[in-house]
Amino acid sequence: DIQMTQSPSSLSASVGDRVTITCRASQGISNSLAWFQQKPGKAPKSLIYAASSLQSGVPSKFSGSGSGTDFTLTISRLQPEDFATYYCQQYASYPLTFGQGTKVEIK
């Protein structure tokens, strides 16, 4: 199975900050990487697919990069509605696997 490791597990940031979350795959997955946002009590929401493509309707303050084993999600100009938990997920091979999540909290 491909292990997905996110860092950090949590972070505190202020409104207006730029935030970067990293995700590392235990083996190469090309660009078969997605990012999701989840708010408490809600279903996850798709943000990024194919490592760097923005899902329809997602604001451009979200961006993704990377290929192979190392990936990043960047949120520019953090807003109150962006405080949530973020997950990466690989869909290169079965079983599909997720990172453990990164909780973005208000400083």
- Binding interface with another protein (CB under 8 A): 32, 34, 36, 42-46, 49-50, 53, 55, 87, 89, 91, 94-101
- The distance of closest approach from Cβ of residue 16 to another protein in the complex, given in angstroms and rounded to an integer, is 28
The two three-digit tokens of residue 32, written as one number: 């078969």
- The distance of closest approach from Cβ of residue 14 to another protein in the complex, given in angstroms and rounded to an integer, is 26
Nearest to 2 by CA among 65, 68, 101: 68
The answer to whether residues 84 and 39 touch, using CB atoms and an 8 Å cutoff, is: yes
Q: Which is nearer to another protein, 44 or 68 (CB)?
A: 44
Q: Do the strands 62-67 and 85-90 form a parallel or antiparallel pair, or are they unpaired?
A: unpaired
Q: Which is nearer to another protein, 37 or 78 (CB)?
A: 37
